[in-house]
Structure 1
């Protein structure tokens, strides 16, 4: 994915977030002359008013495909943070000819036929379903309160307050519907996994085990927390610029 010329990045956000969360990293990539798109998934971020029971993982895959095709993007470096590892895998399965490579930024990696909760500890998946039932009748998982410590956002800090002010409930259907693939994970494209190690998020350990078993991936250790795109944007931008 290295190139001396300007590249095109599409940055996909994780659970409860929106395209807003990429602002610090996007600004740094653009300052180096690259094109950057930071869409929000249907029902999230500034599109929270579109929350509905019909949202599935395919909705999010289609969201990304529409950005890529609607903006006529080619040779895209598609980056998925956390949960967004699932929809970027779906995009690669359906639209590989538009992609230069995939970057799984401390994210979920999922096999065909499984849903996002398949790689979560059972107690975590159950807790999210129950929280969604209590808060929205099963429509969406409410924002965690307090935020998980592994996110690395210090309570009272400007970054913490900014994130808390912008988080929105996450559509439950995107977790519980299966990812259906016609090709192997990554569909033959160059794949990089960025493991945030300070601290390492236990929720993602099974995904990391899967990546190691697949073989052939570029592996990057980042000494930053799960929300490195907010807490350590220079560090993450440098990784993306040097892929």
Structure 2
């Protein structure tokens, strides 16, 4: 395992890997540790993943979707019921696309396709650990749009009603998959300013993280699929 501090004294991210295939778990763990991340434990199913995550308090759980007993989506939901739960990066395959939106609803910080290159896995772990929802890739936006049910006309409320004009502008850009840096460039402000807007709008929306803010934007109709 890696030490608690990496080169230059920076804190090393602690990761738990959950997958029901031992070879897959081993491969993921090896890739992460080769990138100077610390794999604190491995789990073979969702129930074990929840237990170990609450016991060991990793920064990120890399969670497979299809596992016995308790699947990755239910495990994510159980974990995210705890306010100090780790971030969750859900792994999926193209034939499991229908689960992605459910995973985001359950509180996952993002998802990654299993055929992604190794460097993308490491990048994804670091991204969700930093609180930057992994929603930027176009495939992610398409999946969210595909599996969202349009709200019934006249029955929904606007969760962004109490946002300032600039906060709402930032919210809608985040919902379209833009990172803080991309939002800053679009609005001609600093990234620190965007982060401050995001913090305030999350509080006003009652959203735990950026993923919930994105879900709220689509479910309320503030952002339309394909728009």
Structure 1 and Structure 2 fold alike (TM over 0.5): no
Q: TM-score, normalised by structure 1?
A: 0.37
More helix by share: 2
Structure ranking higher on relative contact order (CA contacts 8 Å, 6+ apart)? 1
